[in-house]
Amino acid sequence: MKKIVLLFVLSISISVFSQKKDKVLVTIDGEKTTVSEFKRIYEKNLDAIDDTEAKDVTKNLELYINYKLKVREAYSLQLDTLPSYIREMETYKNQLSAPYLQDTTFIDKLVKDVYYRTKNEVKAKHILIRVPRDASPKDTLTAYNKIIKIRNRIVNGENFEKVAAETSEDPSAKGDPKLGRKGNGGNLGYFSAFNMVYPFEEAAYTTKVGEVSQPFKTRFGYHIVQVDDFKPSAGEIEAAHILVRDTTALGKSKIDSIYQRILSKETFEELAKQYSEDPGSKNNGGKLGKFKAGRMVKPFSDAAFGLQNEGDVSKPFKTRFGWHIVKLIKKHPIKPFNEIKKELKNKVKKSSRMQLSDQAVINKLKRKYNIQENEDSKKILDNPKLRSIAKDSLQNTLFSINDKKIIQEDFIKYIRNRRHKPVFVLYDDFKNQEVLTYYKDNLIYTEPEYAYTLKEYQDGLLLFELMQKKIWNKSSKDTIGLQKYFKKNMSNYKSKELKEVKGQVINDYQNHLEKNWILDLRRNSKINVKKRQLKKLIKFYAKK
């Protein structure tokens, strides 16, 4: 049975964080640990320890020395070069550095914007000119000029819906006469936060009612938006409905008959189960769950949100799906900001708008760092066979970030399997990535807490690999050694049969192996404890 006993909080020894007047407490083969380093480690778990003996400073120092000896052994065996270790550390570094890569002020602003856009709905229409993801700068400029001309037509007095039907590359604007579908003239109805891609939402909420926005770009292409209305959100409601699909007079007669039975106090839910032709809701008494106004077709939304009191039932009305009767089950108004702040923050962090926060961090770093681009080296971006250039010809510096040089070969490796974007866009992405990588790699020098935590995990992971190699695997595979240990210490166990107490014996055998291993490590190391500093520490904690 494997045993993971990290009796001491893992340590770090980075001289850049040591105070100039900090005294040395212990030296192990020339590697010094200062008083403040030991105090940090000792105090980290002090409050969690109830046992007075376990708080003993001298014993904790001995445990610390044992730990340091083990970690040194792990490095000497080059366990830090194992592929599994390298992968694990890279994953952890990314997780640990994530909070440092967030602009908290910017995120807080995004959350406040989301709340405002949750409480208030905007009604808008749009015109789209599509731009392919892999469009060249020339094609992008052509699309932009096209949308500018369209906007000028509207600003100069032409009707937005008419121009949308003529020019928009959103199929819903024109409709399809062959299928009997009318165009919507670009009308999108009311919407709120998270209903549209972020750049579209941003344009709609920052354009005044009656005005036409400047062109803006989303992943679909260039848009312009005209804002028609702005109103407080009704929040969400829970409702149930009865649907009769027949839109003829026969269907109207059937829905009217059901409505009369509702007025006669028959149960809405039972009537829905008997007569509704919506297979998704009829068995549940017609219940549709919780929804916002913009989620349903307009006639349905108007009828449902037009009901004032919980339990109210609408008169029969018609949509393209058939005849409906709606019952209001419950209203869910927008909660106060403090009650949903956490929920909104999580939504923001999972949404595409977090890219804005990432970009804000990158822009800040770009202003902070000295970034020099080599224009001659950048000429390879114009080579149509860029990915096939020989490695030997890609050793020139593409750009530098402070003292770090990034060569052409690094960029080619980055784009080798990335073909979904133009090269010039990939170059900007690569440069941004390198800026973030440089920042993450230097966090150990700029953020002491990050450096401490990373080193703790790094050494702890190495210690796990080492214990597996030296103790756990040996105790489980060395059956002869285990038998010998059992026979020699049989008086310590209730049974004379190994199989009956095997778990306990393996545990004791592991302790035995570890104890002998530590003795060997200590014999082969030069350990010097500064007794004067140790006495001061003991005296210091005795007063607490």
Question: How do residues 91-102 score in pLDDT, each as one tens digit?
Answer: 998 889 888 888
| CA–CA gap between residue 536 and residue 530 (Å, rounded) | 10
* pLDDT score, position 104: 85
pLDDT, the chain, mean: 89
Least confident of 2-16, 361-375, 441-455, 519-533: 2-16
Letter for the amino acid at 539? K
Domain extent for 383: 369-441
Q: Lowest-confidence range among 329-333, 410-414, 467-471, 516-520?
A: 467-471
Band of pLDDT at residue 50, cut at 50, 70 and 90: low
Element (H, E) at 272: helix 268-275
Question: What per-residue string of b and e applies to 176-185 under the rule 16 or more CB within 10 Å gives b?
Answer: eeeeeeebbb
Is position 209 within any domain?
yes
pLDDT for 14 equals 35
Q: Which of 232, 262, 282 marks a domain boundary?
A: 232
- Place 20 in a pLDDT band, splitting at 50, 70 and 90: very low
Whether 338 is in a domain gets the answer no
End residue of a domain, out of 441, 458, 488: 441
Which of 332, 347, 377 is the C-terminal boundary of a domain? 332
Residue 35 belongs to some domain of the structure:
yes
pLDDT of 6 over the 50 cut = no
Distance, in Å, from the CA atom of 351 to the CA atom of 358, rounded to the nearest integer, reads 12
Same domain, 426 and 464: no
- 484 and 511 part of one domain: yes
In a domain, 308, yes or no: yes
For residue 86, count other CB atoms closer than 10 A to its CB: 11
Residues 328 and 390 in one domain: no
Looking at the fold, whether 430 and 455 belong to one and the same domain comes out as no
What is the domain count for the chain? 4
User: What single-letter amino acid sits at 179?
Assistant: L
Q: What is the pLDDT of residues 403-443, one digit of tens each?
A: 999 999 999 999 988 887 888 889 999 999 999 999 999 99
| In the predicted structure, residue 342 carries a pLDDT above the cut 50 | yes
Same domain, 474 and 431: no
Would you say the pTM of this structure is higher than 0.75?
no
Give 62's pLDDT tier (boundaries 50, 70, 90). very high
Tell me what the mean pLDDT of segment 110-135 comes to: 93
204 has a pLDDT exceeding 90: yes
Q: What is the pLDDT of residue 180?
A: 62
Q: What's at 166, amino acid-wise?
A: E
What is the model's pLDDT at position 46? Answer: 74
Claim to verify: residue 224 and residue 256 sit in the same structural domain: no
Answer with the residue of higher pLDDT: 478 or 205.
Answer: 205
In this structure, is the dihedral angle defined by the CA atoms of residues 491, 495, 497 and 501, taken in order, positive or negative? negative
Give Cβ neighbours of residue 107 (< 8 Å, ≥ 6 apart).
Answer: 345, 348, 349, 354, 357
361-395 tens-digit pLDDT: 899 999 999 999 999 999 999 998 899 999 999 99
CATH (domain of 458):
1.10.4030
Instruction: Using pLDDT thresholds of 50, 70 and 90, give the confidence band for residue 475.
Output: confident
Structural domain includes residue 200: yes
pLDDT of residue 13: 35
- Across 4-13, 174-183, 196-205, 272-281, least confident range: 4-13
CA distance 506 to 477: 11
Predicted confidence (pLDDT) at residue 504 exceeds the cutoff of 70: yes
Q: Are residues 123 and 220 in the same domain?
A: yes
SS3 482: helix
Q: Is 375 helix (H, G, I), strand (E, B) or coil?
A: coil
Q: Please compute the mean of the pLDDT values over residues 465-485 and round it to a whole number.
A: 86
User: Is residue 527 situated within a structural domain?
Assistant: yes
Q: 172: part of which helix (H) or strand (E)? A: helix 171-174
Torsion of CA 404, 405, 410, 411, to 10 degrees: 110
pLDDT at residue 182, rounded to an integer: 79
At residue 506, does pLDDT exceed 50? yes
The arithmetic mean of pLDDT across residues 512-539, rounded, is: 92
Q: What is the mean pLDDT of residues 487-494?
A: 89
Q: Highest mean pLDDT range out of 46-50, 522-526, 537-541?
A: 522-526
Judgement on whether residues 129 and 217 belong to the same structural domain of the protein: yes
Amino acid, res. 416: R
Report the pLDDT averaged over residues 129-151. Answer: 90
What pLDDT score does 48 carry?
A: 65
Q: Please state whether beta strands 175-176 and 181-182 pair in parallel, antiparallel, or not at all (unpaired).
A: antiparallel
pLDDT tens-digit profile of 267-313?
A: 999 999 999 999 999 999 999 999 988 788 889 999 999 999 999 99
Shared domain check, 484 and 511: yes
Three-state secondary structure string covering 424-443: HHHHHHHHHHHHHHHHHHCH
- What confidence category does residue 179 fall into, taking pLDDT thresholds of 50, 70 and 90? low
Residues 127 and 225 in one domain: yes
The pLDDT value given to residue 19: 41
In a domain, 86, yes or no: no
Q: At 153, which CATH number?
A: 3.10.50.40
Same domain, 224 and 127: yes
Residue 214 sits in the same domain as residue 262: no
pLDDT band at 47 (very low <50, low <70, confident <90, very high): low
Give a yes or no: residue 108 inside a domain.
no
